Amino acid sequence: MKVLIADPVAKEGIEILRKEFDVDVKTGLKPEELKAIIGDYDALVVRSETQVTPDIIEAGKKLQVVARAGVGLDNINIDAATKKGIIVVNAPTGNTIAATEHTLAMMLALARHVPAANDKLKCGAWQRSAFMGIELKGKTLGILGLGNVGSEVARRARAFEMSLIGYDPFVSPEYAQNIGVRLVSLDQIYTQSDFITLHLPLTPNTRGMIGAKELATMKPTARIVNCARGGLVDEEALFNAVEQGKIAGAAVDVFSSEPAVNNVLCRSSKIIVTPHLGASTAEAQVGVAV
């Protein structure tokens, strides 16, 4: 079997594949370049950069499996693959802790203005009163999605003595209760939370689920953390809500289009941004590759 690895993947995973298969690593291919060579391969391994479109799948005459070294499958057209009998697999737990810890880092950075205070001091300004923060203790954390990452965030947020509410139509109240979360409606998440954190896949049902209407129902002190997928939130609406003081802030790791160098969210000083670093730990990259 011939395997093509089309995005950077940790060597520990590549070594395992090489024991069994003929493996080529060709990263940074343009869509037309990938389309031109995919016909030679039985398996394709990607992370989030490569878009596995119906065109690529059609050209992959020998393809049997598309593997995602990571969780989100929104860059792979599963319908097109399924129609051709191609199996799509992911690595659902390899980067859970990395994404969880990045979420908590974003919450704490928001609560205590860490990035802005760091920037000011390095520019020579000692502004202690400008960066008055809030504590996580006693605040309500609304968790959208109680899968692997949402559940681990819940476990750690309990240590901060936060009060946890969650929305997930696929988990039972007993499961939620076991991780200290009270299941509520989406509306209750929006209206009651001090922090809202998203841990959902991007699907036709979830795309744009937080827009101007939902933001308008949130507390003026609410803060949103998105380390899931950019397309879940209307970015223009989020920018306006933060800038107009309808909510207190946001911390965003993922964008509707990436790389997101000119994204509207990068223009607000009240929004913390990171370049899709949720899974970027040494441990997680080995985890998803293996």
Q: Where on the chain is the footprint of ligand MLT (CB under 6 A)?
A: 47-48, 70-72, 95, 278-279
- From 102, 113, 229, 235, the catalytic residue: 229
Give which of 70, 108, 1, 21 is closest to 228, Cα–Cα. 70
CB nearer ligand MLT, residue 95 or residue 263: 95
15 catalytic, yes or no?
no
Nearest approach in angstroms of CB 201 to ligand MLT is 9
113 or 229, CB closer to ligand MLT?
229
Q: DSSP states of 141-189 as a string?
A: EEEE--SHHHHHHHHHHHHTT-EEEEE-TTS-HHHHHHTT-EE--HHHH
Closest to ligand MLT by CB, 195 vs 255, is: 255
Is 235 known to be catalytic? no
Cβ pair 78, 57 in contact under 8 A: no
Residue 70 CB-density burial (10 A; 0-12 exposed, 13-18 middle, 19+ buried): buried
Q: What tokens appear for 136 in the block? A: 């996580």
Which residue's CB is nearer to ligand MLT, number 3 or number 289? 289
Q: How far is the CB of 144 from ligand MLT (least distance, A)?
A: 16
Least distance (Å) from ligand MLT to the CB of residue 276? 6
Is residue 207 part of the annotated active site? The answer reads no
Catalytic residue among 49, 58, 243, 258: 258
Residue 58 tokens, joined:
């059609």
HSE-up of 282 (CA within 13 Å, CB side)? 0
What is the smallest separation between the CB atom of 228 and ligand MLT, expressed in angstroms?
8
Residue from 102, 199, 223, 276 carrying the catalytic annotation: 276
Q: Alpha-carbon distance 277 to 84, whole Å? A: 33
Query: Which residue's CB is nearer to ligand MLT, number 246 or number 287?
Result: 287
Min CB(167)–ligand MLT separation in Å? 20
Tell me the H-state helices in the chain: 11-20, 31-37, 54-59, 78-83, 96-112, 114-122, 148-159, 173-178, 186-192, 212-216, 235-243, 282-289
Catalytic positions, written as ranges:
229, 258, 276
